[in-house]
Chains A and B, each alone.
Chain A
Amino acid sequence: MSQSITISNSVPEVNSQVEPCVVQIRHLDYYFGEGELRKQVLFDINLDLPKGQIVIMTGPSGSGKTTLLTLIGALRTVQEGSLQVLGQEIVGLSKPELVEVRRNIGFIFQAHNLFESLTAAQNVEMAIELLEDWGNKRQKAIEMLGQLGLADRVHYKPTALSGGQKQRVAIARALVNQPALILADEPTAALDKKSGREVVTLMQRLAKEHGRTILMVTHDNRILDVADRIITLVDGRLETDENLDQFVTTRDPQTLDRRMFMM
């Protein structure tokens, strides 16, 4: 876990020998609104997410975390700068092209957003069907749910599952297509401490096993320890970019608590 990571917020050097980053952001600005109401929410963001890293993005409310997450997720049109996701520049892509990019990304939301009318397996299959993979979709879904400890809940509908189980089904849905990049928005916010812990540990294990990159926005300081790297966004700017040890040591417990309170 103790990797050497550049702490500086400056532009990282582009090195062709290094394995290409899953996400590479250069000089990204983003604005909300039009005309006089136009307001800049992201300022000159530079960020590289290498393969296999688990990154937690944190920061006060309104700092632009979710906006950055949705930009990386190809859910918004990038206005200025450069944003490469999975080796593809998404600035200037049309909407259908953005849809194509999204198919290679796993999304996990605060709410599970499962269809109540579908069983756990069917909800997961909805993701497999995106790849037009019909042959063994049921088998793949069951396998994925099994990895998340839901083997005996495969044919349950969401109403018959606990909150943690539902979130694990949602994670199965996000991971089943083996995406290289997983974007998670407060995945533990709706869960109690124990279920939240279970969910992130499972995410961590599956990501490490398959070398997947996770970018997770969270306010939940109970799960910070799964991160390889913690970045802080304040007022639309990347403020700190540290590994877990640094993050903890640079903040005395009181400050940490105060910061968490702020969030």
Chain B
Amino acid sequence: MRRRTPLAWFNLTYERRRLLTAIAGVSFAVLLMFMFRGFENALYDSQVQLLKLLNGDIVIVSSLKTNMFVPEQFARRRLYQAQAFAGVEGAYPLYTTTAFWKNPVTKRIRPLRVLAFNPQEPVLPLPGIIDNADQLKLPWTAVIDDRSRPEVGPTEAGIVTEIAEQQVRLVGSFRLGTDFASGNGNVVMSDQNFLRYFSVLGPDEDRRELNTVDIGLLQLAPNADPIAVAQALRQGLPQDVHVLTKAEFVQQERDYWRENTNIGFVFSLLTTMSFIVGIILVYQILYTDVAEHWAEYATLKAMGYTNFYLLRVVLQQAMFLAVIGFIPGCVISGMLYHVTASATGLLMQMTWGRAINLFIATLIMCLISGAIAVRKVQATDPAEVFGA
């Protein structure tokens, strides 16, 4: 009983249909913001998901390989050289190439990214790869990415199909996901099988040997400082390789996509537009409410309520709208993230950070609308209610 009459809440919930429209409007703006932010981050995150999973403290790549798209290799002996440096405990080569995969059912071919390494070495420690390490040592075997595009075909173990026009037997699958450089998916095989498949190709194609490496991974002693070791390697190794800590490697890839594509700009613009659409929608709703209750609000002012109180009522309405509109918007976005992720293999993640950020954005969106709408009440002259 000791509470103020929650006028904002009653006014908001009195007209159910308008309330539903309002919630739908806020939810839609929230949904748009979530989807655009989600896509933006998916495009960035997807580019680096493989990089983040690679097991190495320091990464060595060819100095020409500024991003994962560039198929430049470096000499394997640089890895042996690197092993001589203090603090370096292990050096593992990773070979990558792109090869045509035949869908075992439709017989259509799709290019997949091939990742090859010694299964004995912990290069890409994912469940489906570690478990099948022994099987991968057998000739003409591979494991496939479960999250490859559906056009790649079934991914069960035991399937026999073709890669690079040679027979291959699937011994299992793992979960990674697609990115721009591997639009359809990934295949992992042993370095020996890589040699079997790609060292004897047609005259027009680049042959691959194990003496040129795409990505070299260095493991450091537990107490070694990656930054210091990377610095030493940079000074000690020839200039044909680029030495990066893992964090720098991930950042370099991310920066490449950020700086060389319009992804960031496009999605920031789209998010901002959704935000503005939200402001307009909420403003319309609040303004209609204020305009319809003009005489009542003016009466409150005549009775002795201050402008500050009326401002609070309208801002409270805006905040209620933000909260009750955000929840369905967030839930539907979560579902759409899931649908998008399974349809495209892009990394769509609903993170707490993003949810909180967008919730704050929604609150600000509604408060801006409320602040614009309330000017109507503030300008109300209570003297006008007389004789009206």
Q: Which residue numbers of A lie inside 8 Å of B, CB to CB?
A: 66, 69-70, 73, 75-76, 96, 99-100, 102-103, 107, 109-111, 113-118, 122, 125-127, 129-130, 134-138, 173, 185-186
Residues from chain B with a CB closer than 8 A to the CB of A116 are: 14
Question: A115 is contacted by which of B2, B293, B386 (Cβ under 8 Å)?
Answer: B293
CA distance A69 to B302 in the complex (A): 12
Q: Contact flags (1/0) for B298-335 with A, using CB distance below 8 Å?
A: 11101111100000000000000000000000000000
Question: A70 is contacted by which of B1, B296, B306, B383 (Cβ under 8 Å)?
Answer: B383
Q: Which residue numbers of B lie inside 8 Å of A, CB to CB?
A: 1-5, 7, 10-11, 13-14, 293, 295-296, 298-300, 302-306, 381-383, 385-388
Q: In the complex the two chains form, is A138's CB within 8 Å of B304's CB? A: no
Closest to B381 in A: A75
Q: In the complex the two chains form, is B303's CB within 8 Å of A117's CB? A: no
Instruction: Add 6 more A-B contacts to A99-B305, A103-B304, A185-B386 (CB < 8 A).
Output: A102-B304, A107-B303, A117-B10, A130-B304, A134-B4, A135-B2
Q: In the complex the two chains form, is A122's CB within 8 Å of B5's CB? A: yes
CB within 8 Å for A137 and B303 given contacts A66-B386, A69-B386: no
- Nearest 5 CB-CB pairs, A to B? A117-B14, A103-B304, A117-B10, A75-B383, A66-B387
CA distance A116 to B295 in the complex (A): 12
Q: In the complex the two chains form, is A110's CB within 8 Å of B300's CB? A: no
Question: A126 is contacted by which of B7, B295, B382, B388 (Cβ under 8 Å)?
Answer: B7
Residues from chain A with a CB closer than 8 A to the CB of B303 are: 102-103, 107, 126-127, 130, 173
CA distance A66 to B381 in the complex (A): 14
CB within 8 Å for A100 and B304 given contacts A70-B383, A110-B387, A115-B296: yes
CA distance A136 to B2 in the complex (A): 8
CB within 8 Å for A111 and B10 given contacts A70-B383, A134-B1: no
Q: In the complex the two chains form, is A113's CB within 8 Å of B296's CB? A: yes
Closest to A96 in B: B306
14 A-B pairs with C-beta separation under 8 A? A103-B303, A107-B299, A109-B295, A109-B299, A115-B10, A117-B11, A118-B5, A118-B10, A125-B5, A129-B4, A130-B303, A130-B304, A137-B1, A185-B387
Closest to A137 in B: B1
Q: In the complex the two chains form, is B302's CB within 8 Å of A111's CB? A: no
CA distance A125 to B4 in the complex (A): 9
Residues from chain B with a CB closer than 8 A to the CB of A102 are: 302-304
Q: In the complex the two chains form, is A126's CB within 8 Å of B386's CB? A: no
Residues from chain B with a CB closer than 8 A to the CB of A73 are: 302, 383, 386
CA distance A135 to B1 in the complex (A): 7
CB within 8 Å for A117 and B13 given contacts A66-B387, A69-B386, A138-B1: yes
CA distance A134 to B381 in the complex (A): 28
Closest to B295 in A: A113
Closest to B14 in A: A117
Q: In the complex the two chains form, is B304's CB within 8 Å of A114's CB? A: no
Residues from chain B with a CB closer than 8 A to the CB of A129 are: 4-5
Q: Taking the nearest CB of chain B, how far is it from the CB of A142, in angstroms?
A: 12
Q: Taking the nearest CB of chain A, how far is it from the CB of B306, in angstroms?
A: 6
Q: Taking the nearest CB of chain B, how far is it from the CB of A119, in angstroms?
A: 9
Residues from chain A with a CB closer than 8 A to the CB of B4 are: 129, 134
Q: Taking the nearest CB of chain A, how far is it from the CB of B34, in angstroms?
A: 32
Q: In the complex the two chains form, is B386's CB within 8 Å of A109's CB? A: yes
CA distance A134 to B1 in the complex (A): 7
Closest to A103 in B: B304
Q: In the complex the two chains form, is B10's CB within 8 Å of A134's CB? A: no
Q: Taking the nearest CB of chain B, how far is it from the CB of A188, in angstroms?
A: 14
Residues from chain A with a CB closer than 8 A to the CB of B300 are: 126
Question: B296 is contacted by which of A96, A114, A135 (Cβ under 8 Å)?
Answer: A114
Q: In the complex the two chains form, is B11's CB within 8 Å of A130's CB? A: no
CA distance A126 to B305 in the complex (A): 10
Q: Taking the nearest CB of chain A, how far is it from the CB of B106, in angstroms?
A: 61
Residues from chain A with a CB closer than 8 A to the CB of B295 are: 109, 111, 113
Residues from chain A with a CB closer than 8 A to the CB of B386 are: 66, 69-70, 73, 75, 109, 185
Q: In the complex the two chains form, is A115's CB within 8 Å of B387's CB? A: no
Residues from chain B with a CB closer than 8 A to the CB of A113 are: 295-296, 298-299, 385
Residues from chain A with a CB closer than 8 A to the CB of B14 are: 116-117
CA distance A218 to B273 in the complex (A): 54
Residues from chain A with a CB closer than 8 A to the CB of B304 are: 99-100, 102-103, 130
Q: Taking the nearest CB of chain A, how far is it from the CB of B312, in angstroms?
A: 13
Closest to B9 in A: A117
Residues from chain A with a CB closer than 8 A to the CB of B13 are: 117
Closest to A185 in B: B386
CA distance A76 to B301 in the complex (A): 12
Q: Which of B10, B11, B381, B383 is most buried by chain A, counting CB atoms within 10 A of its CB? A: B383
CA distance A24 to B303 in the complex (A): 21
CA distance A144 to B212 in the complex (A): 93
Q: In the complex the two chains form, is A109's CB within 8 Å of B385's CB? A: yes
Q: Taking the nearest CB of chain A, how far is it from the CB of B385, in angstroms?
A: 6
CA distance A96 to B305 in the complex (A): 10
CA distance A37 to B112 in the complex (A): 83
CA distance A113 to B11 in the complex (A): 14
CB within 8 Å for A130 and B305 given contacts A118-B10, A185-B386: yes
Residues from chain A with a CB closer than 8 A to the CB of B1 are: 134-138
Q: In the complex the two chains form, is A126's CB within 8 Å of B5's CB? A: yes
Question: B10 is contacted by which of A122, A138, A185 (Cβ under 8 Å)?
Answer: A122
Closest to A130 in B: B304
Residues from chain B with a CB closer than 8 A to the CB of A69 are: 386
Closest to A134 in B: B2
Q: Taking the nearest CB of chain A, how far is it from the CB of B10, in angstroms?
A: 4
Closest to A118 in B: B10
Residues from chain B with a CB closer than 8 A to the CB of A134 are: 1-4
Question: A75 is contacted by which of B2, B10, B302, B305 (Cβ under 8 Å)?
Answer: B302
